RNA sequence: GGAGGGAUGGCCGAGUGGACGAAGGCGGCGGUCUUGAAAACCGCUGUAGGGCAACCUACCGGGGGUUCGAAUCCCUCUCCCUCCGCCA
């Protein structure tokens, strides 16, 4: 089943003084439908608590604002009166009202804090087109492109190939920083740099993105805005002294680039591409993927990001997927497109595709891109809106993101797919201009 | 890190306790005039919450306080600028 159609639309209501998540209006109107949708994610959210807090909030507001109105009127009268007994009497009479107002304000503050906390925990709801499924095992492979190369020798995994070529060093990485760190060296480091430069150039010149160099360390607020907090706190590196957080993806600074702005409709879509290092503690990956460089605490990524009109966001999702696929095609490496089911959507996406490159040595499909439509989820959290025309009410934009692509994994795919019987690696045609014309990585390099 | 200065609406900039959601200007929108445009003149021109109609409430960097009443007074935080130190 898909999420009820009543959940797909809705006015854009913001919690006063706070930041919303999904539209609270949807919860007010049909809390049961929201709960059903969240159940398909395999997630939990305090919907009943939100409904109660929201009711309570409006009750408090009405009483409080009524009292404030009376108070304002009385203060005005006092200001116009000559000094005297009557005036003093009015002033004295205000103290009771003020005490009540203070009490209500305090209650309202507590109520809104609780409401906002609860709202922050609500995940984005799935788009109607997303298949319902419990977890990643039910994800749907939509298509596979490119021919798997036939090897007349046993292709090596990169963790053998790299060290033998002298371009990858695990021991020294561990010496410097511990497990899940490694060193790229010589042509290996250069190959990664070439990939980054080439991908950035491709997205800028062929796909119309504007290149951004953002901070990789951001304020806590940015983490909430992009949807990293509250859920993923344990996976984020943080400088406690200055309360700055290391980004796990460029999606975080890019989302926040237009925080608290009202954009002009004619400026949309805004398309950014950014290269950043990414830092993840990988607290939840346990002993998974410890071999090789597939999952490190630090990696590089080129990320595409779009701010767009709501009615155009789903077409844009397919487009970004194509932009990521274009990288795979140009590298001439087989890839496949996987659609996430509801249970594997994550916290922020309404619909998501993964793009995977085949790695013949490791013998697995490597996730090198994740392409998501977050609809207005991140825009609500960051207050990014647009106006359809002058004087029109601001509406939330939709945001999308997609890796284009994630680095060490793309590097793995290049090494493993282009390896030769003699242990050397052919440099893909598109990268040669970025490698100073180098055609092959061999030991003597 | 040390010393000093500052933060007002899209922008500039007045406002030091009482009718200020905030003068004035610029920009923008609409209108008059004009064959058209410019100029001139007139009007409008923030956001959010609640009612969901009239209307009410909140917001002058953030938070707290004093007061019947605060953009205006006090405390505190953040950010920006200038000078010194340090530095890629």
- Residue A445 has what pLDDT? 54
pLDDT band, residue A21 (cuts 50/70/90): low
Considering chain A, what is the average pLDDT of its residues? 89
Q: What is the ipTM of this complex?
A: 0.84
Tell me: pLDDT of A67 over 70: yes
- Residue A444 has what pLDDT? 67
DSSP-assigned letter for residue A344: G
β-strands A244-246, A262-264 pairing = unpaired
**How far is Cα A62 from Cα A267, in angstroms, rounded to an integer?**
39
Tell me: pLDDT of A221 over 90: no
Q: Which of A2-16, A219-233, A301-315, A374-388 has the highest mean pLDDT?
A: A301-315
pLDDT, tens only, A133-181:
999 999 999 999 999 999 999 999 999 999 999 999 999 999 999 989 9
Active site residues of A: 280, 295, 367, 370, 409
For residue A15, give the nucleotide whose C1' atom is nearest its CA: B49
A394 touches strand B (CB under 7 A): yes
A71 touches strand B (CB under 7 A): yes
Alpha helices in A81-169 (DSSP H): 85-120, 158-165
Q: How far is the CA of A49 from the C1' of B64 (A)?
A: 29
- Give the DSSP H or E segment for A224: helix A220-226
Task: Please state the rounded mean pLDDT for residues A233-251.
Answer: 89
Task: Please state the rounded mean pLDDT for residues A370-390.
Answer: 90
DSSP-assigned letter for residue A419: B
- Residue A335 has what pLDDT? 97
pLDDT, tens only, A263-295:
888 888 999 999 999 999 988 776 677 789 999
Tell me: pLDDT of A17 over 60: no
pLDDT, tens only, A294-327:
999 999 999 999 999 999 999 999 999 999 999 9
- Nucleotide B45's nearest residue (CA vs C1') is A391
- Residue A12 has what pLDDT? 25
Query: Using N-to-C axis directions, what is the helix angle for A158-165 and A407-417, rounded to 10°?
Result: 80
Nucleic acid strand B: bases within 7 A of protein CB: 18-19, 28-29, 47-51, 56-58, 63-64, 68-69
- Residue A263 has what pLDDT? 86
- Residue A247 has what pLDDT? 94
Task: Point out the least confidently predicted range of A9-13, A154-158, A227-231, A278-282.
Answer: A9-13
Task: Point out the least confidently predicted range of A193-197, A229-233, A239-243.
Answer: A239-243
Task: Point out the least confidently predicted range of A9-18, A47-56, A165-174, A293-302.
Answer: A9-18
A106 touches strand B (CB under 7 A): no
Q: How far is CA A272 from CA A34, A106, A180, A362, in A?
A: 32, 43, 30, 33
pTM, entire model:
0.90
Residue A218 neighbours by CB distance under 10 Å: 19
Q: How far is the CA of A11 from the C1' of B37 (A)?
A: 42
Task: Please state the rounded mean pLDDT for residues A409-428.
Answer: 97
Residue of higher predicted confidence among A81 and A303: A303
Q: Choose among A191, A192, A188, A211: nearest CA to A201.
A: A211
Task: Point out the least confidently predicted range of A43-57, A279-293, A353-367.
Answer: A279-293
Q: How far is the CA of A382 from the C1' of B67 (A)?
A: 37
- Nucleotide B51's nearest residue (CA vs C1') is A62
């Amino acid at each position: 089943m898909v999420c009820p159609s009543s959940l797909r639309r809705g006015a854009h209501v913001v919690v006063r003084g706070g930041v919303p998540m999904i539209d609270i209006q949807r919860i007010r109107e049909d809390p049961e439908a929201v709960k059903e949708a969240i159940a398909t994610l395999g997630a939990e959210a305090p919907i009943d608590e939100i409904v109660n807090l929201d009711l309570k909030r409006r009750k408090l507001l009405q009483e409080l604002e009524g009292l404030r109105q009376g108070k304002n009127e009385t203060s005005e009268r006092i200001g116009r009166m000559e000094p005297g007994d009557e005036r003093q009497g009015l002033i004295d009479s205000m103290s009771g009202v003020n005490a009540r107002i203070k009490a209500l304000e305090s209650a309202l503050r507590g109520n809104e804090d609780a409401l906002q906390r609860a709202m922050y925990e609500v995940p984005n709801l799935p788009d109607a087109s997303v298949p319902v499924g419990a977890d990643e095992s039910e994800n749907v492979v939509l298509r596979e492109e490119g021919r798997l190369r036939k090897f007349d020798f046993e292709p090596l995994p990169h963790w053998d190939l790299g060290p033998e070529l002298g371009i990858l060093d695990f021991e020294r990485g561990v010496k410097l920083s511990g497990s899940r760190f490694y060193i790229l060296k010589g042509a290996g480091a250069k190959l990664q740099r070439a990939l980054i430069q080439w991908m950035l150039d491709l997205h800028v010149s062929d796909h119309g993105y504007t290149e951004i160099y953002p901070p990789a360390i951001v304020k806590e607020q940015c983490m909430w805005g992009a949807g990293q907090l509250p859920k993923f706190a344990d996976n984020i590196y943080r400088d406690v002294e200055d309360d700055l957080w290391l980004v796990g993806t460029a999606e975080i600074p890019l989302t926040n680039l237009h925080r608290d702005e009202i954009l002009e409709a004619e400026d949309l879509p805004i398309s950014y591409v950014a290269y950043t290092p990414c830092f993840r503690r990988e607290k939840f990956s346990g002993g998974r993927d410890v071999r090789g460089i597939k999952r490190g605490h630090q990696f590089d990524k080129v990320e595409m990001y779009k701010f767009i009109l709501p009615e155009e966001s789903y077409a844009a999702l397919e487009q970004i997927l194509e932009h990521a696929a274009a990288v795979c095609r140009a590298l001439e490496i087989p890839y496949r497109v996987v659609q996430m089911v509801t249970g594997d959507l994550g916290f922020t996406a309404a619909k998501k595709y993964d793009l995977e490159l085949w790695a013949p040595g490791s013998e697995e499909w490597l996730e090198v891109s994740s392409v998501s439509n977050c609809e207005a989820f991140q825009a609500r959290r960051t207050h990014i809106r647009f106006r359809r025309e002058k004087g029109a009410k601001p509406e939330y934009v939709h945001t999308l993101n997609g890796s284009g692509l994630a680095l060490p994994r793309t590097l793995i795919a290049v090494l493993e797919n282009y390896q030769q019987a003699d242990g050397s690696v052919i440099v893909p045609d598109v990268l040669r201009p970025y490698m100073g014309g180098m055609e092959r990585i061999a030991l003597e390099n």
